[in-house]
Amino acid sequence: QVQLVESGGGSVQAGGSLRLSCAASGYTLGRNYIGWFRQAPGKEREGVAAISLGGAYTLYAGSVQGRFTISLDNAKNTASLQMNSLKPEDTAMYYCAAGFLRYGGQWSAADMYDDWGQGTQVTVSS
């Protein structure tokens, strides 16, 4: 299994930026994607972005395209989510996850991911 620890959440005003980080340890060779998900109160968990561990592929939800950027560090043991132009509707608990995806079109399906972090809260005020 992979142990994941998120950090970087906080409270910002609309239009501001945050950078979330996901540090991975443990068994990683059986995983080929890191995803970021978020869940707001009363809503289902939704995929935000994902990246292949080789860094070749990035995927984004339409609601964050152009505002968020997912990336890996050079060691491929952390994944970051740079969030710019934040909106109140981005407010949620954000989770990183590691999984093995056979089909890229299913990147946003939470059940494709085996390992999850504890989450970090992002709050965007108007």
Task: Report pLDDT digits (tens) over 4-36.
Answer: 999 999 999 999 999 999 998 887 778 999 999
Q: How many CA atoms lie within 13 A of 60 on its CB side?
A: 13
pLDDT of residue 113: 95
Q: Could you count the other beta carbons within 10 Å of the beta carbon of residue 69?
A: 16
Query: pLDDT digits over 32-62, tens only?
Result: 999 999 999 999 999 999 999 887 899 999 9
pLDDT of residue 74: 63
pLDDT of residue 70: 97
Query: pLDDT digits over 64-115, tens only?
Result: 999 999 999 867 689 999 999 999 999 999 999 999 999 889 999 999 999 9
Provide CB contacts within 8 A for 120, sequence distance 6+. Answer: 6, 7, 8, 9, 20, 93, 94, 95
